[in-house]
Structure 1
Amino acid sequence: MLLKLENSKVPMKMVYLLSEKLKVNPEYASLTQALTLDSTKPYVGLNGTNGLFGTKEWWDSIEQGRIPLLFISGVIKRAYVAGQDPSNFNNTVDLLLEDGTIQSVGIYTNKKEDSKLFKIGYNASIVYALDELKPQAMLNFGQKYNQIALEMAVSLEPIE
């Protein structure tokens, strides 16, 4: 695991592993891979520089540091529903980071009921793989990388 939960000030629960999502829904990886390989769609998709999404080569690239990682951790200041789809549960949190800034992140869980664990005053941590987009997609989205959530954890008690 990439998140080091044993270093936390309070007990944490791992609520999301991309590897588990891909086991349950392998079609997710297949569709992403197909988009990467589709040269008729240069404005969307991953570049595949470090392996096709979800393959052993891709996971090895993460493990060996060829795909950069972004770690975000902070205290939940707000939990809410974002987006246009109606929802009965929160799907986004605003985290207060150590540097005093607020960062909005999506809630990722392998079990829907775990989304209820994301409460104000609790800590949440997430790690993203920064996978390179296709060159034309970079121009389209104005960024070089797509953030792919690999793991997410939330504290089991408030931190404040």
Structure 2
Amino acid sequence: MRPVYTLAEALAQDPARIAKIRDLTLDSSRPHMGLKGRHGLFASVEWWESIKAGRLQTQTLTGCIERTYFAGQDSQRGDQVNSFTLRLADGSTVDESIYTHRRQDIKLFVPGATVTMVYALDELKAQPAADGGVNVARTVLEVSVSAG
């Protein structure tokens, strides 16, 4: 498996993203918007420690790419893809966006390739979820891909 994305590297390239997310967490005038911050402010030392210690739940999905496609309303060239359908071991599928740091790594996302995605499941201020459970934001922490 080849790592093609980490949240830590993405945030290092876009520190304003951290500030925006933290500001929304701390904004008491928006009680239903943003992260709850129960395990530390987004991307803080406390937040990363909560992930490492298992206090902030993570989810790992691994599967085989079934198809790639372009999702969105912007005009596209015929060769552009930004999304894929991942077939999991239990037979279910999930649609996900392609995350990479290097544009050339997009070509690794082809039908038959194996992808592993790790998410942080960070509790949102707005509770409960539609199903009555805990409402979480699924933040991509890592993406790895191998040739199919």
SS of the equivalent of 1:138 reads coil
Structure 2 distance, partners of 1:84, 1:19, is 29
**1:4-23 alignment to 2 at 5 Å?**
12-23=1-12
From the superposition, tell whether residues 49 and 86 of structure 1 become closer, same or farther in structure 2 (CA, over 3 Å). Answer: farther
Structure 2 counterpart of 1:83, one-letter code: G
**Structure 1: tracts of 5 or more residues without a match:** 1-11
Aligned residues: 143
SS of the equivalent of 1:49 reads coil
Q: TM-score, structure 1 length as denominator? A: 0.84
Structure 1 distance, partners of 2:21, 2:76, is 25
Match of 1:130 among 117, 121, 124: 121
Q: Shift of residue 51 of structure 1?
A: 0.2
Identity %: 42
Structure 2 distance, partners of 1:96, 1:28, is 31
Q: 1:67-104 CA deviation, whole Å, 9 max, x = no partner? A: 11110110000111112234453221111111111111
Structure 1 distance, partners of 2:96, 2:64, is 12
SS of the equivalent of 2:43 reads coil
Correspondence 1:49 to 2:38: yes
Q: TM-score, structure 2 length as denominator? A: 0.90
Correspondence 1:93 to 2:84: yes
The residue that corresponds to 2:135 in the other structure is 144
Q: Shift of residue 25 of structure 1?
A: 0.9
**Structure 2: tracts of 5 or more residues without a match:** none
**1:96-135 alignment to 2 at 5 Å?**
96-134=87-125
From the superposition, tell whether residues 56 and 112 of structure 1 become closer, same or farther in structure 2 (CA, over 3 Å). Answer: same
